[in-house]
Amino acid sequence: MWVLLGVVALALILPGLWPRSEGEKISYTDFMDQARQGNVESIVINNSSNTITGVLDDQSEFTTTGGGERGLSEADEQVLRDNDVDIEFRTPGNNWLLSIAGLLLPVMLIIGFFIWMQRRAAGQMGNVMSIGRSRAKAYTTDKPSTTFADIAGYEGVKQEITEVVDFLRMPDRFREIGARVPKGMLLVGPPGTGKTLFARAVAGEAGVGFLSVTGSDFMEMFVGVGASRVRDLFQQARRMGRAIIFIDEIDSIGRKRGAGLGGGHDEREQTLNQMLSEMDGFETSEGIVILAATNRPDILDPALLRPGRFDRSIVVPLPEHSERKAILEVHARDKRIGSDVDLDIMAKATPGMSGADLANLVNEAALVAVRRGAKEIERIDFENARDRVVLGARRESLILSAEERRATAYHEGGHALLATVLPHGDPLHKVTILPRGMALGVTWSLPQERHTYSKEFFEDTICKAMGGRVAEKVVFDHLNSGAANDLEQATGIARRMVREWGMSERIGPMAWSSQQQVFLGEDLMTSGREYSDDTAKLLDEEVARILTEQEQRATDLIVRHRRGLELIADALLDEETIDGRYVANLIQQGLTESGDTGRVAMNILDPESNTAEPDAPAHRRSVS
């Protein structure tokens, strides 16, 4: 179609551009004078345009326009004949392309439109026919190039996965002794810990093909598409020989069957059934290993986790101190780090951060340094980046009144005071009354590396959460909505102490986990509660008792250290941000001024780690 349109366009354009030899243009009067003098040899008259083209005796050409409808009047024609001028009348034929172009162009446009519609329909039909094909991204043996060397820390996880790498590299070694390598391995861990990175590293170490797909890629609006894509995925893996199939977020299709309102999602369950049958349909000798990742193993169907399918679950936990340091070093490798930055101290200050959080922290520090106009990333950039990541950006536009600012200072001062004098909680790091995120002020502690928590720790945490509310009540003798976040945190801890951790003497060694949702398979005919109304009343009473006791404990401590609280509030109003060691000095000064000769043991940070800031839940004065 495009070629035909090009031919028509050339036919219309080229005749006008073609060079034509028409000779010198003269007036009709001069032409007749030359004719009377006998200088004209011959002429040609164009009947269409009345143009006269002629040749003189000296063989020069000329052209002129006739003076009548025929180009010549009868008298002028007679003059030419008397002077022996050859006269020829021509009627030139029209260009045949130009003649039919007006007819062909609409026809060609109509034909082109139908051809375009036919191709579009064929393309859509092709898409419909290929909708059951797997959407897995295939990587060759050259990709992914990620190896275990690119993953910092996690030596235990690497060692556990090395079996799969060895099997894919040297399968005969396992066959000789009769060992059977697991068909599937499930990577379990919080978001951001690097589960997907581990799967790509296994493929890179083994040097085999790698098929990556997410659980949501199997689901479509058409019935049966998920099962068809599962079949195609395993066929594609078999064609690659030795390969690794990685299914990210497998909980989206591996959720428990027969659960929820109406029996669950039938299409999702059919997809899961097909996956279960495919995993039973191949042997480990085929060289296909399935890796899957999820952060919700509790909702997976038990059939997925039985031996012969996902034989082994590998926990990818949040990194420890040494692992966090290694991760920070990896992400800081290509960045210009200042001499005052100590990544070891930064790793101590970031418990609870995942690998993705640490990568984001280093990148945010680089952005802060660029905005500051610095040539390298310094310690202050890491501190500001942590403030921004954990607490949110500073709200420069929020202006508090003098009364609100003073109330916020006493509120945060109450948290800071209790965090310092309570022996079993996390040590205080910093307190500020600068609005950040949704908070009007923040008090936060540097959490220690713990894997189990004592009853005393939780009691001190609840007491510390009550500090802001109690401080405002003691000083101003009124309450406001600023302690909403603190009360929510304290109530949640107290409820779990009673319901789950057996830390109530009246309840005893019994535990009731949180109520399961309907979609996780709870029976709709039951109330979803495993205890009687009397027990529920007892649970509520115990939760209320813990909260009341810790509020009274917070009140007693703040009354005793009233002068220290006032000094902390004044310091916050003057400096806006103070650290934990300064708070401890103010508390001791307050005891001295009030005549209390006793010395309180202060829960403060080590001097070497006092430059870092935590990533931990902080006590915040909420915005109502």
Percentage of the chain exceeding pLDDT 90:
9
| pLDDT at residue number 623 | 43
Beta strands across the sheet bearing 61-65: 24-25, 61-65, 51-56, 40-46, 86-90
Q: Say if residue 526's pLDDT is above 60.
A: no
**How far is Cα of residue 338 from the mean position of the Cα atoms in its chain?**
30
Select the more confidently predicted residue: 520 or 14. Answer: 14
Paired residues of 174 in beta bridges: none
| pLDDT at residue number 97 | 59
* pLDDT confidence tier of residue 93, bands split at 50, 70 and 90: low
Q: Say if residue 615's pLDDT is above 60.
A: no
Q: Say if residue 148's pLDDT is above 80.
A: no
Beta strands across the sheet bearing 577-579: 577-579, 428-432, 439-445, 619-622
Percentage of the chain exceeding pLDDT 70:
78
Domain boundaries, the chain: 23-90, 137-315, 321-391, 402-513+530-622
The single-letter code of the amino acid at 372 is R
Residues contacting 602, CB < 8 A, separation 6+: 420, 421, 584, 587, 588
| pLDDT at residue number 83 | 80
Q: Which CATH number fits domain 23-90: 3.40.225.10, 3.30.720.210, 3.40.50.300, 3.40.50.1100?
A: 3.30.720.210
CATH class as words, domain 402-513+530-622? mainly alpha
Which range is most confident: 52-56, 89-93, 237-241, 395-399?
Answer: 52-56
pLDDT digits (tens, 9 = 90+) for 453-462: 889 999 999 9
Annotation marks residue 220 as catalytic: no
Paired residues of 213 in beta bridges: 247
* pLDDT confidence tier of residue 544, bands split at 50, 70 and 90: very high
Q: What letter would DSSP give residue 394?
A: B
- Contact predicate 271/321, CB 8 Å: no
Average pLDDT value over all residues in the chain: 77
| pLDDT at residue number 545 | 94
Instruction: Report pTM.
Output: 0.64
Is there a cis peptide before residue 190, judged by omega within 30 degrees of 0?
no
Q: Which residues of 381-420 are buried (b: 16+ CB within 10 A; e: fewer)?
A: bbbbbbbbbbbeeeeeeeeeeeeebbbbbbbbbbbbbbbb
Select the more confidently predicted residue: 524 or 226. Answer: 226
Please tell me the number of Cα atoms within 13 Å of 537 on its side-chain side.
3
- Cα 298 to Cα 303: distance, rounded to the nearest angstrom: 13
- Total number of residues shown for the chain: 624
Residues contacting 569, CB < 8 A, separation 6+: 406, 409, 410, 413
Q: Say if residue 23's pLDDT is above 70.
A: no
| pLDDT at residue number 543 | 93
| pLDDT at residue number 322 | 84
> Across residues 69-85, what is the average pLDDT?
74
Per-residue CA distances from 555 to 9, 465, 560 (Å): 94, 12, 9
Q: What is the DSSP secondary-structure string of 338-389?
A: -TT--HHHHHHT-TT--HHHHHHHHHHHHHHHHHHT-SSB-HHHHHHHHHHH
- Cα 330 to Cα 343: distance, rounded to the nearest angstrom: 11
Q: Is 448 exposed, middle or buried (0-12, 13-18, 19+ CB in 10 A)?
A: middle
| pLDDT at residue number 519 | 45
Residue of 385, 349, 391 lying closest to 580 (CA atoms): 349
Given the residues 412, 459, 551, 613, the one annotated as active site: 412
| pLDDT at residue number 373 | 86
Sign of the alpha-carbon torsion through 139, 140, 146, 147: positive
Q: Say if residue 552's pLDDT is above 90.
A: yes
| pLDDT at residue number 462 | 92
| pLDDT at residue number 551 | 92
- Cα 208 to Cα 331: distance, rounded to the nearest angstrom: 27
Q: Say if residue 335's pLDDT is above 90.
A: no
pLDDT digits (tens, 9 = 90+) for 490-521: 999 999 999 888 898 888 888 886 554 444 44
- Cα 355 to Cα 334: distance, rounded to the nearest angstrom: 17
Select the more confidently predicted residue: 98 or 167. Answer: 167
Q: Say if residue 14's pLDDT is above 50.
A: yes
| pLDDT at residue number 617 | 43
**Which two tokens mark 615?**
């990533």
Q: What letter would DSSP give residue 286?
A: G
H or E segment at 240?
Answer: none
- According to DSSP, the β-strands at 619-622 and 439-445 are antiparallel
Per-residue CA distances from 373 to 333, 340, 366, 378, 546 (Å): 21, 17, 11, 12, 51
pLDDT digits (tens, 9 = 90+) for 98-137: 666 667 777 778 888 888 877 776 554 444 444 445 545 5
| pLDDT at residue number 490 | 92
Residue of 405, 326, 346 lying closest to 608 (CA atoms): 346
Would you put residue 515 in left (φ > 0), alpha (ψ -120 to 50) or beta? beta
* pLDDT confidence tier of residue 62, bands split at 50, 70 and 90: confident
- Contact predicate 437/391, CB 8 Å: yes
Q: In angstroms, what is the C-alpha Rg of the chain?
A: 44
Q: Say if residue 217's pLDDT is above 80.
A: no
Residues contacting 257, CB < 8 A, separation 6+: 264, 269, 272, 301, 303
Looking at CATH, the fold of the domain delimited by 137-315 is given as: Rossmann fold (3.40.50)
Q: Say if residue 612's pLDDT is above 60.
A: no
Q: Which of 169-173, 210-214, 258-262, 343-347 has the lowest mean pLDDT?
A: 258-262
Count H helices, E strands: the chain?
A: 21, 15
> Across residues 545-562, what is the average pLDDT?
92
H or E segment at 584?
Answer: helix 580-593
Residue of 319, 396, 398 lying closest to 361 (CA atoms): 319
* pLDDT confidence tier of residue 27, bands split at 50, 70 and 90: confident
Select the more confidently predicted residue: 310 or 606. Answer: 310
> Across residues 143-172, what is the average pLDDT?
75
Q: What letter would DSSP give residue 255?
A: B
CATH architecture of residue range(s) 321-391 = Orthogonal Bundle (1.10)
pLDDT digits (tens, 9 = 90+) for 352-407: 788 888 888 889 899 989 988 888 888 888 888 887 877 777 776 677 778 888 88
